[in-house]
Every structure is written in C-alpha cells, then in structure tokens.
C-alpha cells in the first residue's frame, strides 16, 4: 500500500499548522536540500508545449529517494472554470523502486513556490525591506504575500493587476491577515505606482507571452526583484533592458533550465548568473551591496518539489494528519507470479477474504 495525500488532507494540514508556519518549515527543508546540491541528479524538466499551454514532468533523485512532479500551465483555463495550474507528485524509494507517497501538488506547489521566493529574498533583499509590490494578483499571490510577511517581515503590500477583480480577490483574502497582524494592503493604479518606493517587487503573472511588466525606470537602487511568472520558453516579465542595467545581478535555481525558460532566455548564453545553491552553501554572498539590484529569476526546479514531497511524508510520519493508503502497487504472495496473484487463484483468495 502507498501513502496518499489528497487536496482535503493538505488543506487540513495547512489549517492545523497555519500557512505561515507551513511555508517557513518548508523553506527550511528546501534550504537543507539546496545545501546538498551535489547529491542530486539535475536536468531541465521535460515539457510538452501546445498553443494553449504546457504539460511538464519534473524528476530528480538524491540517490536514496526519487521524486517527480506532473504539472500543467494553461492560462486560458479559467475561462472554462478550470485552474490554470494543476499538479501531483510521487516520492519513491530508490533501492526498491517502490512509490512511498502519491500526493496532490496543486496547493503544495503554490506553497513551495512562495517558500522558495521568500527563502531567496532572505539572502538577496536588504534586511530592512518592509514594502513589497505584488504585480499579478492571481492564484499564487496570497501565498507570496503570506510568505514575505512571515519570513521577511513585510509590513506593506501594494497590489496591481490588469484585472481589478483579481486585486479585489487578493485584498479580500488578505483581510484577515491584515487585521490580525497589522499587514497594510494597498491597491495601486499601475505597476509604476506599486513599485514606487518598494523594497521588493514580486511579479507573478500568468500570460504565456513575452510581457513587459517591469522596465528600468520603475527600478531603484537596492531593490530586490522576485520574477516568478516567466517560467517557460516565450514567457517573460522583465524588459530586456532591466537585465542590461549595470547594478543588476541575476540569481537562478538551475542554470541550464533557466536559460531555456527564465528571464535570461532573452539574453546571450554567456550572460553571467549565479545559482542559488552556491549562495545557500556560503560559497558566494547573496546581496553584495546596499545599492545592488538583485533579480531572483525563478522558474521552479524539481529539487523544490522533492523537498515538498519529503516534507509531506515527514508530516505523515509525525501523524499530523490521518494516514490514508491506496493499492497502487500489487501485493503478491509470490512476487514472480503477477497473473496468479492478481487475476488468478491468488487474487481470487484475497478477494474472498475481503468479502468474508
């Protein structure tokens, strides 16, 4: 039998811990895994693109555990009453090849993306950062707001989206957090207005196109840019001139993947970037000066999903939620007799025992 975590299980778990604590604990697991970067198999995700979206597989292994995530991105789905992004994942034992956990990852991916954003910002943003502009107020935005409030002490969030209904949704969902913890939430009339005076700018838009969300005049010395939405070929959020600014430094998760999918797909192949693992391990500093403009070119990497699945499995072991299991793999009296143990006499005996 294989452990199973569904959407209702994850929801109960997050409600029990609180989303802020869940995100912060998950960020700790991600950091621990980035600090053992050399142990992981690394490859760019396998993507199947269509005119309306993408379906991807994201595998990795540390030699003891193997994981993969199935994830899609279809921005036009919402017009059909469907989610833009859905996902599920598997954590498996390398020694036997047996799956240990099958889990939903739609909600969990939103949490791990926010955890990774805030984790990177701990190293890259100025320590006194308290104001964040949040450009793109769709499904990921609440998680980003909670993560930055919890992990960096952000006190004011400026919202902007070309769809005012999205901003109203985000403002409504953040109202409880604002009331309980003093978070100030303001609506801006434009991206420029939202960015003016902000310490951190998070862009998390969904359109599959080379968008121009941020331009050089919107930026100021010392800003940290958390560019989340540009996560597949032909999909970006920063004007190319942003990357050409003299004080800009770009940090990526896994360079070969980011060259294909990130903001840096817009620049030459020799454009200098720093992988986050080097910063996590202390091999190179995060922010190098108060005036530096740092860009976390985040496309999402399989290691982060590995961390999330490992964390969920750990919470199961801690009995934080009721354990559920499914018969994803046959249990045979004779492992050399698949037919007999499932369709033949052995399978019949088990069916009889269950019905007795």
Cα-based torsion angle of the residue sequence 246, 252, 255, 261 in order, rounded to the nearest 10 degrees: -90
- Residue 185: CB atoms within 10 A of its CB come to 19
Dist CA 293 CA 239 (whole Å)? 15
DSSP strand pairing (2-5 vs 325-326):
antiparallel
* Contact in structure between 58 and 302 (CB atoms under 8 Å): yes
* Contact in structure between 99 and 5 (CB atoms under 8 Å): no
* Contact in structure between 36 and 60 (CB atoms under 8 Å): no
- What is the token pair recorded at 251? 């940090």
Dist CA 86 CA 107 (whole Å)? 8
* Contact in structure between 187 and 167 (CB atoms under 8 Å): yes
Give the largest Cα separation in the chain, rounded.
75
Q: Single out the catalytic residue among 199, 231, 297, 305.
A: 231
2 φ, ψ (degrees, to nearest 5): -115, 135
Dist CA 37 CA 254 (whole Å)? 10
What lies within 8 Å, CB to CB, of 338 at 6+ separation is 330, 332
In which region does residue 227 sit, left (phi positive, over 0), alpha (psi from -120 to 50) or beta (all else)?
beta
Question: Is residue 231 annotated as part of the catalytic site, yes or no?
Answer: yes
- Which residues are the active-site residues? 231
């Amino acid at each position: 039998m294989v452990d199973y975590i569904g959407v209702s299980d994850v929801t109960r778990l997050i409600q029990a811990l609180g989303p802020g604590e869940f995100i912060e604990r998950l960020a700790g697991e991600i950091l621990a895994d980035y600090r053992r970067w050399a142990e992981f198999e690394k490859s760019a995700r396998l993507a199947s693109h269509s005119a309306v979206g993408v379906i991807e597989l994201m595998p990795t292994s540390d030699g003891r555990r193997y994981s993969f995530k199935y994830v899609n991105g279809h921005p036009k789905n919402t017009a059909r009453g469907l989610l833009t992004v859905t996902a599920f994942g598997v954590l498996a034992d390398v020694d036997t090849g047996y799956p240990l956990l099958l889990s939903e990852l739609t909600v969990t991916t939103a949490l791990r993306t926010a955890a990774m954003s805030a984790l990177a910002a701990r190293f890259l943003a100025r320590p006194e950062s308290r104001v964040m502009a949040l450009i793109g107020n769709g499904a990921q935005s609440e998680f980003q707001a909670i993560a930055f409030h919890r992990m960096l002490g952000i006190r004011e969030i400026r919202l902007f989206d070309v769809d005012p209904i999205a901003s109203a949704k985000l403002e409504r969902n953040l109202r409880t957090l604002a009331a309980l913890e003093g978070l100030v939430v303001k609506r801006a009339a434009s991206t420029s207005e939202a960015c003016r005076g902000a310490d951190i700018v998070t862009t998390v838009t969904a359109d599959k196109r080379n968008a121009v969300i941020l331009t050089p005049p919107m930026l100021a010395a010392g800003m940290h840019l958390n560019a989340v939405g540009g996560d597949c070929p032909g999909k970006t959020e920063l004007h190319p001139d942003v990357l050409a600014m003299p004080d800009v430094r770009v940090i990526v998760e896994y360079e070969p993947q980011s060259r294909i999918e990130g903001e840096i797909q817009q620049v030459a192949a020799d454009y200098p970037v720093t992988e986050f693992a080097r910063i996590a391990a202390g091999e190179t500093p995060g922010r190098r000066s108060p005036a530096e403009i740092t860009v976390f070119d985040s496309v999402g990497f399989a290691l982060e999903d590995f961390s999330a699945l490992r964390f969920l499995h750990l919470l199961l072991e801690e009995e934080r939620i009721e354990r559920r299991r499914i018969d994803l793999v046959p249990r045979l009296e004779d492992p050399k007799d698949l037919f007999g143990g499932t369709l033949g006499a052995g399978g019949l005996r088990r069916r009889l025992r269950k019905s007795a």
